[in-house]
Structure 1
Amino acid sequence: MLTAVRAVRRSLTHFRSLSTSAMASGYQQANVVILPSHLANDFQTFCRSNPAPLPLLYRSQSGESSCPPLARDADIRRDISQYCVFEAGRLVKTVSSLQSYSTEPRAASEQQAAEHGQWSHMVCFYLGCSFGFEGRLKKAGVPVRNVEQGRNVSMYRTSVPCVSVGVFRCPLVVTMRPVPAGMLNEAVQITHLNPLAHGAPIHIGDPALLGIQDLSRPDYGDQVELQPGDVPVFWACGVTAIEAILSSKPSLAFSHSPGCMFMTDIPDSCPSPITPPADPAAPPAAADPDPELTPLCFPVSHNPLFYSLASQRAVGRIRRLETIIGEDPGERGIRALFVQDELLRSCLALSHSSSVAITTGFPTHYMHSPPDETDGPPGAIAMATMLLALGKQVTMITDRRAVEMNQAIIEEAVSTGVLKTAIPLVTFENTSPDSALHFLCHHGDPSKPRYDHLVAIERSGRAADGNYYNMRGINIKHLVDPIDDLFIAAMDIPGINTTGVGDGGNELGMGKLKEKVKNLMPKGGLIACDVAADYAITAGVSNWGGYAVACGLYLLHTCPPHRRYLRKGLGPEPTTSPAQLQDWAANLPSVDKEESVLSTLVRFGIRSGKTGHLAMEVDGLTFHPTHSDIITRLLQATLGPAP
């Protein structure tokens, strides 16, 4: 069927320069780049180094105009409706055929032959195209707006650099298709199964996060309009190869004109690329995708709008972590505050973060010195340990009264090997209306935040009357610095997410659940924190929430769909080395490490929250067997075999 279509295209001039977006439904389409042979090996490596934008279907032999594994009776010099001709990195013209470049003038060398247009010294690269998944989107009921609107797809040059190889260095180019928010999972899962057509999206949400300032002005293609309820979804695009031509400046090169693709005979259900160039005639290799690696889409931020991806396997395990920490052996009624996937979404946001500030400290024992409890610091250190292992910057924010104590706790954690390195410790004073803004952002500029995530774990939170209460309803405001103001200010600063971890409803960040706290928790009307976080993680003991965050981050960073999304499909497909996995696993919480941290706190005079005992317990629950058992089960859910 496609052989006939190609034959008709060759003979009918009115087909020239038409977009192929809605053509050949059910088949893969291909971007085409034709380069001098002396650049071919580097370009092939460039494709392998950037697999999402440049999924390599086939590399031809020098001078080969057919491509047997992709299409029968093809002639690449005539089978595209419009070609671009580049000289010295400049687009000089578009043509409807490359036949005139098949003449063979004499040349002294292979490079000179290619430079003078000898087809026998040109190499064709066929790269996957996102038009190859549009048919399956339509079958699933996902609207394809560019087809609906009769337009070429929108393509944008981003500020994201590809991995460079030799002379090939350029920005990533993406296509944008609007997708209704309620159908994002369908769009992600359908395209994930078609790596030949760029696979799953590499970004969902605000285009500015890719350096795209105006969706109405695409760099290639046509403007495609979003409908009410649509979310902009971005896939890596093969037009990245044209940017590579522009930057590398070969004396002569050709490509398809954006939107005018080569139509192959490969069904759009074919899941694996062809292996070039060892066996150019090899058929596409079949694959049996692991259903547990199917990605799911979750909203992470509304300011700016941003979604992330994680596999069904990782999501299932993180939900298991959430169930474990939701247990309530202390019978405090915390289950009533539970909201599913707050842990998951917080972990996704933290995974995308680069600089995290953590605060803890609940001075519930106002009659003792120090007044703090043993819940909070162990969970904070567990999160910091994993964040540091993943290459994040971490800062601890504490009360002025507790600087010396927390400095000693951090130093002890380093000396015992719990922490790899010391964490900067800072305080916050609200001395002016702009104090919080200047603390959070360089020079008080909201576009230049110092941190992209604030985490409060078992941190005393401000109630509606401006006071701070322990669970007994005692006002402890005189012992608490106004760190809440940072969370309030962060609500209006794009790009800063916040997490609160609590076990009673009076902790910083639990304001997100304040109506539940008021109605369902003892003294809730008085003690409920009024300051919300983007994510409110509830746990039977707050430390458990910190342990679960560390485990969730490990699961995400060993999740192939999430790791691909983090790097926007650029760089070679990561194969995590055993040494890397061992290092990440070594930075998970463990019974030994958490027992060590707790013993340090007790030695410094820090007491159990519920009982006030100076003993190896947290919230009235002894470390053995209660806390040690929870830690063991969290590790089993993270590292053990799938349930």
Structure 2
Amino acid sequence: MEWKKGLSIMSPAELRLSIRRKDRGIVTTTGLANGFQQANVVILPRFLADDFQVFCSLNPAALPLLYRSGPGETACPPLASSADIRTDVPQYCVFENGRLLNTVPSLQGFGADSRDAPRQPGAADSGVVRSGEQGICWSDMVCFYLGCSFGFEGQLRDAGVPVRNVEQGTNVSMYRTTVPCVPVGVFHGPLVVTMRPVPADMLTTAAHITHLNPQAHGAPVHIGDPALLGIHDLSRPDYGDPVECPAGDVPVFWACGVTAIEAVRNSKAPLAFSHSPGSMFLTDVPDSLLPASQLSPLCLLVCQDPLLYSLASQRAVGTIRQLERVIGEDPGNRGIRALFVEDELVRSCLALSHSTSVAITTGFPTHFMHSPPDETDGPPGALAMATMLLALGKQVTMVTDRRALQMNQDLVEEAVRTGVLKASIPLVTYEDSGPDSALHFLCHEGDPRKPRFDHLVAIERSGRAADGNYYNMRGVNIKHLVDPVDDLFVAAMDLPGITTIGIGDGGNELGMGKIKEKVMSLMPNGSLIACDVAADYAITAGVSNWGGYAVACGLYLLSTCPSHQRYLRRGTQPATSPVQLDHLVACLPSVDKEEALLSTLVRLGVRSGMTGNLAMEVDSLTFHPTHSDLISRLLALTLDSAPSGMP
């Protein structure tokens, strides 16, 4: 590799001349021209050029367009001086009707007008393209220069992030994914990604640095398990070379310009050229970083099995953390703050943002002497989450006790009739009918590979204690009123791909087993009532409904966060429209909607949790001013923080 060490200090112009002369045997340009942008190259007949430009604009993470040439133009003045695209790439691919015909070191002999092209000193005579019988000549061709991730490798190293492919002296690994690009005309195909292993404690740094360089593909589009992209063997890349992933590193995937090559193949263009993967055009354009801002992303762990990290802007994460602090207030002086675990709300919201199908359960029959025995805390928060999840296109199911099925059906129907809920929600019950009941409930045909739900959420749901009973805060056993929905959370622990969330305000709620030790030592009757069943995330709030409201607000913030939406869409789908954003705003919790919902609960005979009053209160706190003021504060925080538009 000594020759490459010498090349690494050369300017882009010197390197282009070296490539043009073919006297250094440069095949891959990784590690070269540090501090300057590199470019993927696609050359197409002019009749396809407009569609391809639109294809780039709709898949901007993979195909950041640096320059589009005029027909027959060989130079690219905005990107490089004294350049000739026919000779200044180490290796080219030649495609005919979508098939790769050959890889060649030069395009100088191409086309009927090639006799007019100047010969370069040392240009190879073998392997040049000598075609023209296709009826297309160079003057018919348009060249597209697209940003390349090699352009940010130097910036990563400067920030202390190791670039393993450069360290290992290999081309970067590139993989086809199962993520489809947005099609335009004849151009379609899968997103192609590059993979670079990054130490787990440097993921935010890597995301931040690359986010600031959108012309080099920007921030990652996936961090974690490659199978979530449809990649099943990292040791067998579709393009480039395998890159070893050291212990402690996490696979990080960036959108890749080779996506264009896949689209060219699928277009069946009569004739097309591209760079050979890893062999880029070196520009004279310095790496230019955007200024750091509150839109720069943070990287947070969402799930361990399968491994998944997510990105969201500093602004969105900061606001969700503010929401978390607000719902942690304790006007009832119950000692809830002692149970707080930082960032459970933001991680829960990120997890739900990645979800497809969510099951929500609620119901705490604390008033065992009344019918119904349920309390007003829980259902409003559950419906607030369900409303926002439905608006985001998720499937939502409500899991309820058999004894409460009719009451919940009445509540949902009234919520739909009054517009509190935009659409009805399926209601189901669960009962233990054998050792595999939970597995069959959660998975189609009891097959762990076919989960019905990827998320389970419990809000103010009575949770099973260590002795197998269910207790209210006074230590009264209410097991006879509770179906064993806890079994679903226990089974989910062993099912990859199902994330669980618990929301509570006392420690005896389903999912609060994650903070069991705190509950036992800090809460009244804690050693008796503490829930023994843990969730992946445990959100504590002064009132559980507030946790549901905060989740709905957090999901809205993520839906308006450019960094998160780009990551969620893998940089391939169009942005959310203003009409969709208006719909999401209408789905946020509001004072009027929550007051109407509480009024319906009271009419159905549901009582306040602590007092048993059949009145407009939750956990002894009257709706006005306590709950109404808190809802207004959550809403103001959310709407003041969200950007006015999307990318």
**TM-score normalized with structure 2 length:** 0.94
Deviation of 1:102 (Å): 4.3
Does the Cα contact within 8 Å between 2:175 and 2:238 map onto a contact in 1?
yes
- 2:345 counterpart residue number: 343
What CA distance in whole angstroms lies between the structure 2 residues aligned with 1:190 and 1:353? 27
The residue aligned with 2:622 is 622
Alignment of 1:186-205 (within 5 A): 186-205=205-224
Which of 222, 227, 245 is matched with 2:264 structurally?
245
Rounded to whole Å, the distance in 2 between the matches of 1:456 and 1:79 is 60
Aligned with 2:182: secondary structure?
coil
Equivalent-residue separation in structure 1 for 2:92 and 2:642 (angstroms)? 51
Contact 1:365 1:373 in 2 (8 A): yes
Q: CA RMSD in A?
A: 1.5
After superposition, give the CA deviation of every residue in 1:324-362 in whole Å (9 maximum; x if it has no partner): 000001111110010111000000011111111100000
Q: Which of 40, 47, 54 in structure 1 is aligned with 2:56?
A: 47
Identity %: 74
> What's the CA shift string for 1:88-125, capped at 9, x where partnerless?
2111211111111144399xxxxx97933511111111
**Structure 1 counterpart of 2:70:** 61
Matched, 1:7 2:9: no
2:608 matched to which residue of 1? Answer: 608
Q: 1:141 aligns with which of 157, 160, 165?
A: 160
1:383 counterpart letter in structure 2: M
Distance 1:46 1:535 in 2: 40
Q: Which residue of 2 aligns with 1:234?
A: 253
Aligned residue for 2:294, secondary structure, equals: helix
Alpha-carbon distance in 1 for matches of 2:97, 2:631: 62
1:22 aligns with 2:31: yes
**AA matched with 1:449:** P
Helix, strand or coil for the counterpart of 1:146? helix
Question: Does the CA-based 8 Å contact 2:367-2:374 persist in structure 1?
Answer: yes
User: Among residues 172, 182, 191, which one is paired with 1:172 in the alignment?
Assistant: 191
Q: 2:443, 2:629 → 1: CA distance?
A: 41
> What pairs with 1:326-405 in structure 2 (closer than 5 Å)?
326-405=328-407
**Distance in 1 (alpha carbons) for counterparts of 2:114 and 2:73:** 17
Distance in 2, matches of 1:433 and 1:331, equals 42
Between the two proteins, the alignment pairs up a number of residues equal to: 618
Cα distance, 1:617 vs structure 2: 0.8
1:358–1:395 Cα contact (<8 Å) kept? yes
Conservation of the 8 A alpha-carbon contact between 1:114 and 1:122? no
Query: Residues 189-240 of structure 1, C-alpha deviation per residue, up to 9 Å, x if partnerless?
Result: 0000111000000000000000001001000000001111100000000001
C-alpha separation in 2, matches of 1:270 and 1:312:
18
Which letter maps to 1:5? L
Following superposition, the deviation at residue 440 of structure 1 comes to 0.8
Aligned to 1:126: 145
Q: Does 1:80 align with 2:81?
A: no
Matched, 1:514 2:523: no
Task: Show CA shifts across 1:339-389 (max 9, x none).
Answer: 111000000011111111100000011111111111001111111111111
Cα gap change, 1:409/1:95 in structure 2, threshold over 3 Å: closer, same or farther?
Answer: same
Q: How far did 1:621 drift?
A: 0.7
The answer for the alignment partner of 1:286 in structure 2 is none
How many Å separate the matches in 2 of 1:239 and 1:494? Answer: 32
Corresponding residue for residue 459 of structure 1: 461
2-structure distance, mates of 1:291, 1:642: 15
3-state SS in 1 of match to 2:201: helix
Query: By how many angstroms is 1:409 displaced?
Result: 0.6
Q: What is the distance in 1 between the residues matched to 2:463 and 2:383? A: 20
- 1: CA distance between counterparts of 2:408 and 2:132? 71
C-alpha deviation, 1:642, in angstroms: 8.6
Partner in structure 1 of residue 304 of structure 2: 302
Instruction: Say if 1:386 and 1:575 are closer, same or farther in 2 by CA, change over 3 A.
Output: closer
Q: Residue type matched to 1:340 in 2?
A: E
Q: What's the CA shift for 1:393?
A: 1.1
Contact 1:47 1:56 in 2 (8 A): yes
Give the match for residue 576 of structure 1.
577
Superposed CA offset, 1:262-300 (max 9, x none): 0001111255xxxxxxxxxxxxxxxxx460111111000
Offset, 1:581: 2.3
Between 623-632 and 115-124, the greater mean CA deviation after superposition: 115-124
Q: Structure 1's 575 and 401: CA in aligned 2 closer, same or farther, altered over 3 A?
A: closer
Quote the residue 1:473 is aligned against. 475
| Cα distance in 2, alignment partners of residues 115 and 329 from structure 1 | 79
- Whether 1:256 aligns to 2:275 is yes
3-state secondary structure, aligned to 2:333: coil
2:534 is matched with 532
Give distance in 2, aligned partners of 1:165 and 1:418: 39
How much does 1:422 deviate? 1.1
- Which amino acid in 1 is paired with 2:190? P
Q: How does 1:542-621 map to 2 (within 5 A)?
A: 542-572=544-574, 574=575, 576-577=577-578, 579-621=579-621
In the alignment, structure 1 segments of 5+ residues that lack a partner are: 107-111, 272-288
Deviation for aligned residue 1:582: 2.1
Q: Which runs of no fewer than 5 residues in structure 2 stay unpaired?
A: 1-10, 116-130
* Deviations, residues 31-89 of structure 1 (Å, cap 9, x unaligned): 00111111111111111111011111111111111000000000011101111111221
Any runs of at least 4 consecutive aligned residues in structure 1 with deviations exceeding 4 A, and if so which? none
For residues 373 and 344 of structure 1, what CA distance do their matches in structure 2 show? 27
Question: Aligned partners of 1:210, 1:102: CA distance in 2, in Å?
Answer: 40
How far is the alpha carbon of 1:14 from its aligned partner? 3.3
